[in-house]
Structure 1
Amino acid sequence: MRKVRDYDAELRALGDKARTLKAKKVQQLGELVTSTGADALDADVLTGALLHIVAEAQVEGNREAWRSDGAAFFQGRGRKAGRRTSSNAQGGNQTGTGEAQG
């Protein structure tokens, strides 16, 4: 006889996994803001900068330049790389910040 699936339990498990992933994403975003030094900016300034970036994201050349700058930052070649301590030399890679790109 076939085993009956517990759809409610599966849905709860998926919901728990989604909440865990969202919490991890928020934590990694906070770590990114801190590691780049953007935490020194006012919330209004940071929000405005992000809104301008999103508006300009339609131009593919900008996006590629931002991607290469971001990769350089996490590899320690970025302009603000000297701000990090030696114990955090890997940048966001220790927490998997760049792993979920697609």
Structure 2
Amino acid sequence: MRKPRDYDAELKALEDKARELKQRKVQQLGELLIATGADALTHDELAGALVAIAETKDAGKKEAWARRGAAWFRSKSRRSAAANDDDAGSDQTQSGGAQSPSGTTGAA
């Protein structure tokens, strides 16, 4: 005879997984804001810009933003790789993303 499924335990596991994914998403969005320097904007400015972007129907603008974002990420990864080459002992501290925002802020 088959063992009955524990639906409550499965549901709790799924809820825990969903909570973890949401926390990771929020953390990554926060890290992105800091890395791009957008954390210097007021909440109203940032919200207004995001609403304007979300409401934009112009495919050309969206493509231009996507290209600019992709270029930013490429240049960011090259800078991180160069920093790791210069200081091979800092691999552990560099990988967390905590140092990238300060590097970006210091460069501005």
Q: TM-score scaled by structure 2?
A: 0.68
Aligned to 2:35: 35
Percent identity between the two aligned chains: 57
Aligned to 1:63: 62
| Matching residue's letter, 1:31 | E
Shift of 1:33: 0.1
Count of matched residue pairs: 83
Which structure has the larger Rg over C-alpha atoms?
A: 2
Aligned to 1:47: 47
Identify the structure with the greater helix proportion: 2
User: Which contiguous aligned blocks of 4+ residues in structure 1 show a shift greater than 3 angstroms?
Assistant: 86-89
Cα deviation, 1:46-67, whole Å, max 9, x if unaligned, reads: 11111111111x2222222221
Question: 2: distance between equivalents of 1:75 and 1:49?
Answer: 23
Relative contact order higher in (CA < 8 Å, ≥ 6 apart) = 2
Shift of 1:37: 0.5
Question: 1: distance between equivalents of 2:20 and 2:29?
Answer: 14
Q: Mark the runs of 5 or more structure 2 residues left unpaired by the alignment.
A: 85-93, 98-108
* Aligned-CA RMSD value: 2.3
Aligned to 1:13: 13
